[in-house]
Amino acid sequence: MLRLSTSVRCTHSADGAVILDIRQGSMFRFNPTGSRVLELLSAGADEKAIVSSLVEEFSADPATAAADTGEFLTLLREHALLEA
């Protein structure tokens, strides 16, 4: 199960999201789509469910949504914002 790191604090708005990693002292900004992915992760969604939600909510192409979601999750892992 994927989840945001316990050291991450998030705030969401219509413009996207801001994450503060209190352990690393790093701040990250995300667009509305990235914000939605973070919300889905917080709700316990797995990668497949996230892709399905993005396809439905944003009328995204399934292959593009899958590739972009995989890349986004990889970036979250690289910055230690995501735990398995």
For strands 3-4 and 82-83, give the pairing: antiparallel
What is the pLDDT of the chain when averaged over all its residues?
96
In the chain, where the domains are located: 3-83
pLDDT value, residue 34: 97
Q: How confident is the model at residue 83 (pLDDT cuts 50, 70, 90)?
A: confident
Render pLDDT for 24-64 as a digit per residue (tens, 0 to 9). 999 999 999 999 999 999 999 999 999 999 999 999 999 99
* Topology of the domain covering 3-83: Arc Repressor Mutant, subunit A (1.10.10)
User: Distance between CA 82 and CA 40 in Å, rounded?
Assistant: 13
